[in-house]
């Protein structure tokens, strides 16, 4: 290094040493306000970090609303984990639907079986004379 | 990625110097505190997840931008020139006061008090001369020697070439050396 450059560096170091002394002797209220500013900045960072890890959320666009994923967590297994509850819900709905269908079919089959197994033919229920007969008490046992 | 503790430690290590640097520029404690707070917020909010070794350059760049924003808001030229005239007036007053302090008193305690006052006066003189430097020279000098950034880092933070940084630093040292010698301060 050139001697002039060395001398300049030494001079600059001595100047900044003095400046450091001045910076270390700041009044209490200034240092406290700097500390408070630092705390606020760190709190702001936390808030940002939480937003970055946002889970899939409802995203509105115009008049429509869709499910969109957050900015962070782009691994496929994270997406899979997020989709699991939805898949479980869909599977539950399918099972309930099948169960209801089966129960309804069984009920209708039982009624049909009772009608077919009865002594009275099913066509009798469509006969107006038979209805009149029932009203007049024709069904009473003799 | 910097952890919260690393970011906190970094901010703690630079906050006092950042305040003084802003103060040299804007010459108003409240404004300097606002600028430092704004810079810390921006760093934490936008660059809090950057590697810890990138934080110094980013912070000093943000601090410079925040200071520029402040000047823009204050109608740059008017604010600058009015503060320069304020500075000249207050410098003279301080000098007269200290002339009175170094009076004909003797004794060891008086001597140490005199030393203390002289050191304080030297520091004030240096700070005033730093304030007198053109903004770009002051910025380059403080980043390069006070923040101990190398030429490339300083150039990146200032948004100029490395040659410009060297020129700014050289001229700043020349001006400071001449001004301090004129005041009888030999470092």
A18 with B176: Cβ contact below 8 A = no
Same domain, A48 and A85: no
Same domain, A102 and A132: yes
Same domain, A142 and A79: yes
Residues in chain A with CB shorter than 8 Å from the CB of B37 are 33, 37, 40-41
Q: Which of B15, B141, B169 sits opposite A34 (nearest CB)?
A: B15
Residue B141 is predicted with a pLDDT of 92
Q: Which of B20, B44, B46, B5 is nearest to B142 (CA)?
A: B20
Same domain, A142 and A82: yes
Q: Which of A14, A40, A45 sits opposite B187 (nearest CB)?
A: A14
pLDDT digits (tens, 9 = 90+) for A124-138: 878 888 888 888 876
User: Nearest residue on chain A to B23, judged by CA atoms?
Assistant: A23
Determine the residue among A7, A30, A32 to mutate to test chain B binding: the one whose Cβ has the most chain B Cβ atoms within 10 Å. Answer: A30
Decide if pLDDT at B1 tops 80: no
Instruction: Answer whether B15's CB lies under 8 Å from B36's CB.
Output: yes
pLDDT digits (tens, 9 = 90+) for B85-97: 555 544 444 444 3
Instruction: Answer whether B31's CB lies under 8 Å from B22's CB.
Output: yes
Same domain, A109 and A137: yes
Chain centroid to CA B22: how far? 6
Same domain, A90 and A119: yes
pLDDT digits (tens, 9 = 90+) for A23-44: 888 899 999 999 999 999 988 8
d(CA A56, CA A71): 9
Task: Report yes or no on A68 lying in a domain.
Answer: no
The CA distance from A6 to the nearest CA of chain B, in Å, is 12
A26 with B12: Cβ contact below 8 A = no
Helix B4-26 to helix B108-132 angle, to the nearest 10 degrees? 80
Task: Report yes or no on A48 lying in a domain.
Answer: yes
Q: How many CB atoms lie within 10 A of CB A107?
A: 10
A30 with B33: Cβ contact below 8 A = yes
Determine the residue among A34, A35, A36, A48 to mutate to test chain B binding: the one whose Cβ has the most chain B Cβ atoms within 10 Å. Answer: A34
Decide if pLDDT at B19 tops 50: yes
pLDDT digits (tens, 9 = 90+) for B52-111: 888 888 998 899 889 888 888 876 556 555 555 555 544 444 444 344 444 444 455 555
The CA distance from B73 to the nearest CA of chain A, in Å, is 21
Tell me the CA end-to-end span of chain B in Å, nearest whole number.
41
Same domain, A51 and A80: no
Q: What is the pTM of this model?
A: 0.58
A31 with B16: Cβ contact below 8 A = yes
Q: How many CB atoms lie within 10 A of CB B24?
A: 21
Q: Which domain, by its residues, includes A18? A: 1-55
Long-range contacts of B154-159 (CB under 8 A, 24+ apart): B156/B57, B156/B61, B157/B57, B157/B60, B157/B61, B157/B64, B158/B61, B158/B64, B159/B61
Residue B102 is predicted with a pLDDT of 45
Looking at the 3D structure of chain A, how many domains does it have? 2
As a three-state string, the secondary structure of B22-87 is HHHHHCCHHHHHHHHHHHHHHHHHHHCCCCHHHHHHHHHHHHHHHHHHHHHHCCHHHHHHHHHHHH
Task: Report yes or no on A105 lying in a domain.
Answer: yes
Q: Give the H/E segment covering residue A66.
A: strand A64-68
Task: Report yes or no on A106 lying in a domain.
Answer: yes
Residues in chain B with CB shorter than 8 Å from the CB of A40 are 37, 40-41
| Tens-level pLDDT at each residue, chain A (142 residues) | 677 788 888 899 989 998 898 888 889 999 999 999 999 998 887 665 555 555 555 555 555 555 555 554 557 788 888 889 999 999 999 999 999 999 999 999 998 888 888 887 878 878 888 888 888 876 565 5
Q: Tell me A119's DSSP state.
A: S
The CA distance from B156 to the nearest CA of chain A, in Å, is 21
Touching A: B residues 104-143, CB under 8 Å: 119, 122-123, 126-127, 130, 141-142
d(CA B120, CA B5): 35
Residues in chain B with CB shorter than 8 Å from the CB of A1 are none
Scanning chain A, the segments in alpha helix (DSSP H) are 3-24, 28-52, 76-117, 128-135
Residue A28 is predicted with a pLDDT of 92
Cα B136 to Cα A11, A129, B1, B68, distances in angstroms: 19, 113, 31, 11
Task: Report yes or no on A64 lying in a domain.
Answer: no
Same domain, A85 and A127: yes
Task: Report yes or no on A138 lying in a domain.
Answer: yes
Task: Report yes or no on A66 lying in a domain.
Answer: no
- Name every residue whose Cβ is closer than 8 Å to that of residue B118 and which is 6 or more positions away in sequence: B98, B102
B145 with A46: Cβ contact below 8 A = no
Three-class SS state of A13: helix
Three-class SS state of A97: helix
Q: Tell me B102's DSSP state.
A: S
| Burial label, B77 (beta-carbon count in 10 A; 0-12, 13-18, 19+) | exposed
Task: Report yes or no on A47 lying in a domain.
Answer: yes
Q: Which of A109, A110, A130 is nearest to A121 (CA)?
A: A130
Residue B173 is predicted with a pLDDT of 92
């Amino acid at each position: 290094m050139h001697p002039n450059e060395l001398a300049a560096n030494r001079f600059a170091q001595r100047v900044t040493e003095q400046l450091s002394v001045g910076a270390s002797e700041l009044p209490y209220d200034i240092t406290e306000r700097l500390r408070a500013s630092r705390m606020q900045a760190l709190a702001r960072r936390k808030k940002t970090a939480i937003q970055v890890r946002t889970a899939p959320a409802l995203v509105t666009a115009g008049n429509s609303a869709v499910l969109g994923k957050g900015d962070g967590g782009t691994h496929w297994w994270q997406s899979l984990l997020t989709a699991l509850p939805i898949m479980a819900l869909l599977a539950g709905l399918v099972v309930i639907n099948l169960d209801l269908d089966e129960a309804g079919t069984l009920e209708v089959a039982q009624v049909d079986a009772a009608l077919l197994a009865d002594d009275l033919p099913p066509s009798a229920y469509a006969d107006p004379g038979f209805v009149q007969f029932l009203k007049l008490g024709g069904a009473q046992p003799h | 990625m910097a952890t919260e503790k690393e970011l906190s430690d970094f901010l703690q290590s630079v906050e006092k110097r950042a305040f003084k640097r802003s103060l040299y520029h804007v010459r108003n404690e409240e404004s300097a505190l606002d600028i430092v707070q704004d810079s810390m917020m921006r760093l934490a909010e936008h660059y809090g997840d950057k590697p810890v070794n990138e934080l110094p350059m980013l912070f000093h760049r943000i601090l410079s931008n925040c200071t520029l924003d402040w000047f823009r808001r204050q109608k740059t030229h008017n604010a600058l020139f009015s503060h320069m005239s304020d500075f000249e007036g207050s410098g003279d007053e301080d000098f007269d006061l200290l002339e009175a302090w170094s009076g004909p008193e003797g004794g060891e305690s008086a001597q140490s008090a005199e030393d203390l006052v002289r050191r304080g006066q030297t520091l004030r003189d240096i700070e005033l001369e730093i304030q007198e430097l053109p903004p770009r020279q002051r910025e380059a000098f403080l980043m390069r020697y006070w923040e101990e950034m190398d030429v490339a880092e300083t150039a990146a933070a200032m948004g100029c070439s490395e040659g410009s940084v060297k020129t700014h630093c050289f001229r700043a040292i020349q001006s400071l050396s001449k001004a301090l010698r004129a005041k009888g301060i030999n470092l």
